[in-house]
Amino acid sequence: MNCTYHPDKEAAGVCSSCGRPFCRACMVESAGKSYCRPCAATAIGQNRQGASDMAVGAIILSAASIGLCGFTAIPGMILGFIELGRIKRGESPEAGRGMAKAAAIIGVVMTALMMLAILATVIITIIGIVIAMLTAGS
């Protein structure tokens, strides 16, 4: 019997929740039982009903970027995407998906707005320098 995710590896056991075979790298053990990573988040549950700390931190950083001129947008966006990946792999509670997704979206939007503001500042500065140079010669 081979691993569900790694067909080239021999299974070390079966998941106590879904019953599929998995190799040692794909298994999570708790209280004498083995779980695959997707089932571990619900079976073991990480004993949390709500969102993970990373999802909460991501949304706080992204939301704070609105009042802080976008300076916390990039960390919030990065944490949001990391948490979405962890949720997808079953390493974090599903309850944090909405927060992580919102953090990633707010982070992307605020980063884009920050980049546009920087670009506009550079263009306006260049135009000002060109105008000053043209009027200085007259």
Residue 138: pLDDT band with limits 50, 70, 90: low
Higher pLDDT, 12 or 41: 12
Q: What does the pLDDT read at residue 25?
A: 82
Residue 104: pLDDT band with limits 50, 70, 90: very high
d(CA 35, CA 110): 39
> Over 90: is that where the pLDDT of 120 sits?
yes
* Range with the poorest average pLDDT among 58-62, 68-72, 82-86: 68-72
d(CA 72, CA 56): 14
Higher pLDDT, 117 or 68: 117
Q: How far is CA 92 from CA 99, 102, 136, in A?
A: 12, 16, 63
What number is the average pLDDT over the span 125-138? Answer: 90
Tokens of 39: 């089932």
> Over 80: is that where the pLDDT of 48 sits?
no
What number is the average pLDDT over the span 54-58? Answer: 88
pTM score, two decimals? 0.58
Burial of 65 (0-12, 13-18, 19+ CB in 10 A): buried
